[in-house]
Amino acid sequence: MDQLDAVLATIEQRLSFVKTDPIDWRQLVLGFSWVVCLWESYLLLRQYPLYSKREPPPALAKYFNADVFAKSQDYGRDKAKFSAFSNFYRLVFETLQLQSSTFYPWAWDMSGRTLALVGYGPEYKISQSVVFGLLLMFISMIISLPLGIYQTFVLEEKHGFNKTTPGLYVADTIKGALLGVALGGPFLAAFLYVFDWAGDRFLPYLMTLLFTFQMVMVIIFPTFIQPLFNKLSPLPSGELRTRIEALAGKLRFPLKHLYEIDGSKRSSHSNAYFYGLPWSKHIVVFDTLIKQSKPDEVEAVLAHELGHWYYQHPTQFMLVSQLHIFTILAAFPAFRHSAPLMRSFGFSEPIAANPPAILSFLLYQMVLTPAEAILGMLLNAVSRRFEYQADRFACELPTRLKDDDMRGVGARLGRALIRLHVENLSTIWVDWLYSAYHHSHPTLTERLRALERYGGEPLDKAAKDEL
Ligand SMILES: [Zn+2]
């Protein structure tokens, strides 16, 4: 504990200028917004011309017929245009919010007045903070609403993926908002309470709170939250179920439930994943994946997923996320009582002198934007490494398990990936820098080449005819 205190004291010392120097943090954050937006636009400019290519890369030419390739290029081009527009749209609102020095003080004031309506005065700081948090969430929901509607009912609709009805969309939006209030409200209150209660020694307590919250979410998500949006039903017995259960058994994967999820209710994009506690895991397969692929291909996809489990990739990501939270919280004390930070966002002197935790934390988060963008890129690099590792795991299964049934699993995985790409009309030509920033998975070409290397099995020649 003493060592932790020493480290924290050093960090605060190094960052002491935050409390004293009259830096215009608001203009700085505005500048960051522009830099991130320009950077993302630059990446789109690199990627965009690739949608005009008339043929797939040679390695894929045999799997993508002209029609599918043209459709995927069209879809990619439309998505890129939409991204460019969304970037610009968000930038306009961010600029409006940051350019005025009254937006955040107004929102804070508004929350206080709302609370006064029900008879609570400014001494109820945590309540006011929760109302403030919900107000900002509500504003950002309203701003994003047109983008979401366009994406679902125009973009996805045009390319044949949308299965969401307007009624379902409205229900989803309302449920999402209510869930935000029901979970976000108490969580935020607890978060702020720890600041008040623990004073400057908040770090270990907040880490514990955040970790507990993550664990509780892992437990309640499948039981209470997911059923609000989707129906999970046990995967019916048959070839697929038998195959998955056998594979899980051979790998000693603690499979508790095997579900099929009605992803087709909203979209025809497909997927499969697992989750749960170390001793009790659940596998979920999208009904769309089952419909689009053969049982032995779905099995290969799950062999890849179980590779993630075998190498403990989710746990590693969780450790990275704890480290991330630790770093953010460790540097926060310097910003916690920074009057210049509060002043630059237009807050009055009494608030600048003694800022509520939620305000300093929110502004601090905004200052961190560029660092978060870089971190996202690093996490994508790690994630891509994990994807290769899981692919290799699947390819090595026949030797690992000394099991003839698993022969050709690498080739099947390759076929499944191609099929997923074809069905989802995923982009095939990808700029490396664009991909490094945006993608958590290697491109299809990269993965197929790697699969041939790991498995030593060239892709099935018949694959083309089957697709
Ligand atoms: Zn994966």
pLDDT in tens, 60-75: 887 888 888 999 999 9
The answer to whether residues 268 and 303 belong to one domain is no
The answer to whether residues 262 and 374 belong to one domain is no
Assign 15 a pLDDT band (cuts: 50, 70, 90): confident
Q: Mean pLDDT for the chain?
A: 89
- Residue ending a domain, among 241, 258, 288, is 288
The alpha carbon of 13 and the centre of ligand 1 are apart by a number of angstroms equal to 42
CA 354 to chain CA mean position, Å: 34
The answer to whether residues 280 and 297 belong to one domain is no
Give dist(CA 108, CA 112) in Å, integer.
Answer: 6
Options 40, 156, 305, 431, the catalytic residue: 305
- Give the tens place of pLDDT for each residue, 125-138: 899 999 999 999 99
The alpha carbon of 385 and the centre of ligand 1 are apart by a number of angstroms equal to 10
- Is the pLDDT assigned to residue 464 strictly greater than 50? no
Domain carrying residue 240: 231-288
Our count of domains for the chain comes to 2
- Give the tens place of pLDDT for each residue, 301-340: 999 999 999 999 999 999 999 999 999 999 998 898 899 9
The alpha carbon of 419 and the centre of ligand 1 are apart by a number of angstroms equal to 16
The answer to whether residues 306 and 437 belong to one domain is yes
- Residue ending a domain, among 288, 314, 329, is 288
208 falls within a domain: no
The answer to whether residues 304 and 270 belong to one domain is no
40 falls within a domain: yes
Please tell me the predicted confidence (pLDDT) of residue 462.
Answer: 46
Instruction: Output the domain CATH number for residue 280.
Output: 3.30.2010.10
Options 94, 287, 299, 391, the catalytic residue: 391
Assign 465 a pLDDT band (cuts: 50, 70, 90): very low
Tell me, yes or no, if 391 is annotated catalytic: yes
Assign 280 a pLDDT band (cuts: 50, 70, 90): confident
Query: What percentage of residues in the chain have a pLDDT greater than 70?
Result: 97
The answer to whether residues 341 and 454 belong to one domain is yes
Please tell me the predicted confidence (pLDDT) of residue 457.
Answer: 56
203 falls within a domain: no
104 falls within a domain: no
What letter would DSSP give residue 165? -
466 falls within a domain: yes
The answer to whether residues 333 and 425 belong to one domain is yes
The answer to whether residues 312 and 274 belong to one domain is no
- Give the tens place of pLDDT for each residue, 62-115: 788 888 899 999 999 999 999 999 999 999 999 999 988 899 999 999 999 999
**Distances from the Cα of 5 to the Cαs of 60, 253, 334, in angstroms?**
56, 41, 14
Please tell me the predicted confidence (pLDDT) of residue 96.
Answer: 93
Q: Kindly report the number of other CB atoms within 10 A of residue 20's CB atom.
A: 10
Contact 225, 179 (CB under 8 A): yes
Please tell me the predicted confidence (pLDDT) of residue 458.
Answer: 61
103 falls within a domain: no
The answer to whether residues 328 and 416 belong to one domain is yes
- Is the pLDDT assigned to residue 358 strictly greater than 90? yes
